Amino acid sequence: MQRATALALIGVVTFGLWALAQTPQQPKVQPGPNEPNWVDILEHRYALKIFDDLLNPVKTTPAATPGLFKKAGPGPVVFTPVIALGLEVPIHGGWYTPGDDAQNPKTHELWSYQYKHTAKDIKEAETLTIIPLITPSNTTFDPGDQPFGLWIGNDQFKDRVYSQPQVVAATNPRLAKQPYKAMIYPNKDRDTDKIIPHSYIIGWEYSTNDDFQDVVTRIDNVELITDGEKAKSEKSRD
């Protein structure tokens, strides 16, 4: 009993410490309701730190946060759901190209599923069950040379969240005041502790509680477009 109490207290202290590490602008990441916390999933599955390894932190405003990718090399881009938590309803995922404004992204659906991993799966399984996709589904696409973003939706809320917060704010009235819904990380080989090139892990939030593990996806053969690259691209078009 004493050991269990001590472990519980350690968990509370750990959660408190990483919560304090968030910048004032960064949306607060909440513990999962009866589900593994995002911080634990990152550390246990990918040897990643929730803020130290975050590639799209909110430094000023969500609207200024990176959220677009570009294809990295030959062959298709691969976008795969790897962890399913959150709602047990049909979940959808896909990609989009930016429109003339944030209200008009050109979206493409790739896959859908209705499945949920258990907390025991996440904590104990050496290899997670591959999420069974609903037919027809596809995890590959070719965006060409154009920048693109990613999106997640579900059949309960019947709306979408996007990798660009400004698109969420412009297209999703339910979440317009909480538009930061995707936390992007480098993919890491846990056994070697080395970053896997052109591969990223994304924790998604489609509700308002911001636990950021409703859906976890991996995207391969891409590069995240940073602030500097975005500015350079925009200047070249002028």
As a whole number of angstroms, the distance between CA 196 and CA 187 comes to 6
- 69-114 pLDDT tens trace: 999 999 999 999 999 999 999 999 999 999 999 999 999 999 999 9
Helices 2-20 and 38-46: crossing angle in degrees, nearest 10, is: 100
Q: Per the omega criterion (within 30 degrees of 0), is the bond before 136 cis?
A: yes
As a whole number of angstroms, the distance between CA 201 and CA 44 comes to 14
Amino acid at position 74, single letter: P
Q: What does the block give as tokens for 18?
A: 């990483």
Read off the pLDDT of each residue in 158-186 and give the average, rounded to a whole number: 98
Q: What's the chain's length in residues?
A: 238
Judge whether residue 25 has pLDDT over 90.
no
Nearest to 67 by CA among 225, 232, 229: 225
As a whole number of angstroms, the distance between CA 11 and CA 5 comes to 10
pLDDT band at 229 (very low <50, low <70, confident <90, very high): low
Q: What is the pLDDT of residue 138?
A: 98
pLDDT band at 5 (very low <50, low <70, confident <90, very high): very low
Q: What is the pLDDT of residue 6?
A: 35
User: Which neighbouring-strand residues pair with 152?
Assistant: 93, 161
Q: What is the pLDDT of residue 21?
A: 58
